[in-house]
Amino acid sequence: MLTPALYLSAVLFVVGTLGVIVRRNAIIIFLCIELQLNAVNLAFVALSRYTGIEGQLYVFFVMTVAAAEAAVGLAIIISIFRHYETVNVDKFNVLKW
Amino acid sequence: MLLDYGSSFHYVLALLPELVLAIWGMGVLLAGAYRKRDGSSGQEAGWLALAGLALAAVANGWLHSGVSEVGAAGMIAVDRFRLFANWVLILGAGLSVVISLPYVARQKLQAEEYYCLILFAVVGMMFMAAARDLMIIFLGLELMSIGVYALAGFNRRDRRSAEAGLKYFLLGAFSSGFLLFGIALVYGAAGTTNVHAVAMAVADGTAASALMVPGAALLATGFAFKVSAVPFHMWTPDVYEGAPTPVTAFMAATVKTAGFVAFLRVFLVGLEGLHGEWADVLWWISAITMVAGNVVALVQSSVKRMLAYSSIAHGGYLLVALVAANDTATSGMLFYLLVYTIMTVGAFAVVVTVGNQSEANARIEDYGGFGWRKPVLGVFMTVLLLSLAGFPGTAGFIAKYHLLLGAAESRLWTLSVILVLTTVVSYWYYLRVAWYMWMKEAPEGVDSAEPAVTPFATRLVLAASVAVIILAGVFPGAALDLAAGSAEGLRGVSEAAGSAAGP
C-alpha cells in the first residue's frame, strides 16, 4: 500500500504546485498551498505504517502550522484587498515582480 | 555543567534562550494591553524588547560558558555552532529593534505587536539554529516566517507594504511546502527525521535513495527560497523594497542567517554522504546567484532595491562555503554571517535616516550631496559600503578572504574566480552610492525640506557597527577564533554521534 499512497501524495503535491503557478486569484493560490501541505500529510501517514508513530504525530504539527498560516495569510489578503479591491495577483504591480 | 536529556528539566535548560525570549515576547504583547492610549510613542515597548534580547543573550552566554550535553543526538543541539548563530541572531535583532524605535514612532505603527513579532521571529530562528531534527527545523522556520510575513505587511496604510506582505506570504508558504515534502521523503527513506540518524542511514546505505535524492532536492529548493538564491529569488527585491525599511534590515540580516545555519546543518551533517550528488547542483546555484545578483544590482535606481540585490549576491558568496563543505569554509561562513549582519543593518540604518523615518528618498539621486550635509553619517555609510564591497581594511574583506580560503581547500578554483570577479563588479554599484553622496549636488529643494534628523539610537548603532567593521577588519583574530571553534563544534558533535553508534 505504501507505493500507491506515495504516488497519490506526489500527484496531489504536483496539482498544488501547478495551481500556485497557473491561478491568479490570491485565495485560490493559498488553497493550492494548503493542498500541498495536505499532500505531505498523506505521505507522512502512509510512511508511519513502516517507520513508526512519529509520522502521524507530524501531521498534527503540520495541521497546526497550516492553521496559523491561514490566519496570517487571510489577514494579509484582506489588508491588500482594502488597497486594491481585488485579489488578482496580476493587479498588484506597484512593485515589479 | 552537563545536560542529560534523560531529564526533561534539562531540556528546559538547553532551550533557555528560546524560552526566555518566547515568554518575554508574550510579556511585551501584554504590556501593550495596559498601555495608555494617550499619545505615548510606543518606544517603551521597543526598550522592553531590547531588554528581552539582552536576557536571551545572557542565557546564551551561560550556555556558551561550558555547558555541554551527553547523548549527542538529541533533538536540540547544544553546540558552539548553534550558540554562535544565536549571537548573530540576537545581535541582528537588537540592532534592527534600535533602528525601528524612531521609525515605528513616526509611522505610528502598533509598537507592541511589532516588537513582539520580532521577538517571536527570533525565537523561530534560534530554533532553526538549534534543531537537530528536520521537523524542529520546519517548526522553527514557520514560526520565523509567519512572524516576518506579518512584519513585511505591517504598515497597513502603505499599499507597497501590503503588497510586499502578500508576495512574501504566498512565495514563502509555497517554498515551505517544498521543504516539508522534502522532509517527508527523507523521513520515508531514512525512517527518522533526526539529522544524525539520517547521516548514519545514508552512510551505511540503509536509506532508500529513490526517496532520499528527491527529498534532498526538495529540501535544497525550500532552503534556497529562504536564503533567496537565484533562481528562487523572485520575491526578494519586491519584498525588501516594499516592507518597512527596519523590517527589511531585519529580514536581510537575520532571516538569511537562520536560513543558512539550518541549510548548513542539514546538508553538512545530515546529507554529508550525498555530497557528491548535491554539490554540483549547489555549485551552479551559487555561481548563478553571484553573477545574477551582482549584475542586476548594477542597474537599480532605488538604493533599497540595490541593497536587496546585494543581499542576493551575498547569499551567493555564502553558498560557496556550503559547496566547499569543510571546516575552514564553515567558520568563514559563520564569520561572514556576523559581519554581513552588522554591515547590512548599518546600511539600512542610513537608508532609514535619509528617508527621514519613512519610505521616502530611496532613489539614488536623493543621496546627492548627502555626505556634505551630514558628514559623519556620510563617512559611516561610505565605510559600510566599502565593507559590503569587500574593500581591504574592512571586515567584509576578511570575511570574503576566509570564504576563499575554504573554497581553495576544496579546490573550487572556478567558483573562487567567479567570487572574486563578481566582487569587483559589485564595487561599481556600492561606490556609485558613495559617488552620489560626495561628488554630486543635492537634488532640487532638498535643503528647504525638513532636514534629516538622526535619532540618537540610530547614531549609536551606526557608530558601533562602523567601529566593529573597522576593528574586525584590522584585528579579526578574536571573532575568527570564535567562529573557528564554533565550526569545530558542528563537526565534533557529528563525530561523537557517529562513534556513539559505532561498535
Q: Do A20 and B174 touch (CB under 8 A)?
A: yes
Q: Which residues of B touch A50 (CB under 8 A)?
A: 188, 191
Cell of B175: 517554498
Q: Do A76 and B165 touch (CB under 8 A)?
A: yes
Kindly list the distances between the CA atom of residue B162 and the CA atoms of B111, B245, B410, B420, B451, in Å, as whole numbers in the listed order. 18, 14, 44, 38, 28
* pLDDT of A79 strictly over 60: yes
B149-205 pLDDT, tens digit per residue, is 999 999 989 999 999 999 999 999 999 999 999 999 999 999 999 998 999 999 888
Q: Do A96 and B238 touch (CB under 8 A)?
A: yes
B299-345 pLDDT, tens digit per residue, is 999 999 999 999 999 999 999 999 999 889 999 999 999 999 999 99
Query: Smallest Cβ distance to A68: which of B146, B166, B241?
Result: B146
Note the pLDDT of residue B41. 64
B299 exposure class (CB count in 10 Å sphere: 0-12, 13-18, 19+): exposed
Chain A within 8 Å of B392 (Cβ-Cβ)?
no
Q: Do B153 and A76 touch (CB under 8 A)?
A: yes
B74-132 pLDDT, tens digit per residue, is 788 888 899 999 999 999 999 999 999 999 988 888 888 999 999 999 999 999 999 99
* pLDDT of B495 strictly over 70: no
Mean pLDDT, rounded, for A48-76: 94
Mean pLDDT, rounded, for B480-499: 68
* pLDDT of B501 strictly over 60: no
Note the pLDDT of residue B360. 82
Mean pLDDT, rounded, for B448-471: 83
Query: Smallest Cβ distance to B149: which of A65, A72, A97?
Result: A72
CB pairs under 8 A between A and B: 120
Note the pLDDT of residue B35. 75
Task: Tell me which amino acid residue B27 is.
Answer: G
The Cα–Cα gap between B382 and B438 comes to 9
Radius of gyration (C-alpha) of chain B in whole angstroms? 22
* pLDDT of B453 strictly over 80: no
Query: Smallest Cβ distance to B153: which of A47, A58, A79?
Result: A79
Q: Do A33 and B173 touch (CB under 8 A)?
A: yes
Note the pLDDT of residue B466. 94
Cβ neighbour number for residue B62 with a 10 Å cutoff: 14
CB-based contacts of A3: which residues, under 8 Å, 6+ apart?
none
Note the pLDDT of residue B448. 46
Residue B502 pLDDT grade (very low, low, confident, very high; cuts 50, 70, 90): very low
Q: Do A51 and B138 touch (CB under 8 A)?
A: no
The Cα–Cα gap between B338 and B396 comes to 10
Note the pLDDT of residue A10. 95
How many angstroms separate the CA of residue B210 from the nearest CA in chain A?
12
The Cα–Cα gap between B450 and B427 comes to 32
Instruction: Answer whether B125's CB lies under 8 Å from B144's CB.
Output: yes
**Averaged pLDDT score across all residues of chain B:** 89
The Cα–Cα gap between A80 and A74 comes to 10
How many angstroms separate the CA of residue B168 from the nearest CA in chain A?
10
**What's B72's DSSP letter?**
T
Note the pLDDT of residue B499. 41
Q: Name which residue leads in pLDDT, B79 or B283.
A: B283
The Cα–Cα gap between B262 and B257 comes to 9
B383-420 pLDDT, tens digit per residue, is 999 999 999 999 999 999 999 999 999 999 999 999 99
Stated pTM of the model: 0.94
B348-390 pLDDT, tens digit per residue, is 999 999 888 888 888 888 888 888 888 899 999 999 999 999 9
Q: Which residue of B has its CA nearest to A33?
A: B174
Q: Do B180 and A37 touch (CB under 8 A)?
A: yes
Instruction: Answer whether B324's CB lies under 8 Å from B332's CB.
Output: no
The Cα–Cα gap between B392 and B427 comes to 12
The Cα–Cα gap between B235 and B241 comes to 10
Q: Do B163 and A65 touch (CB under 8 A)?
A: no
Nearest-CA neighbor of B177 among A71, A13, A78? A13
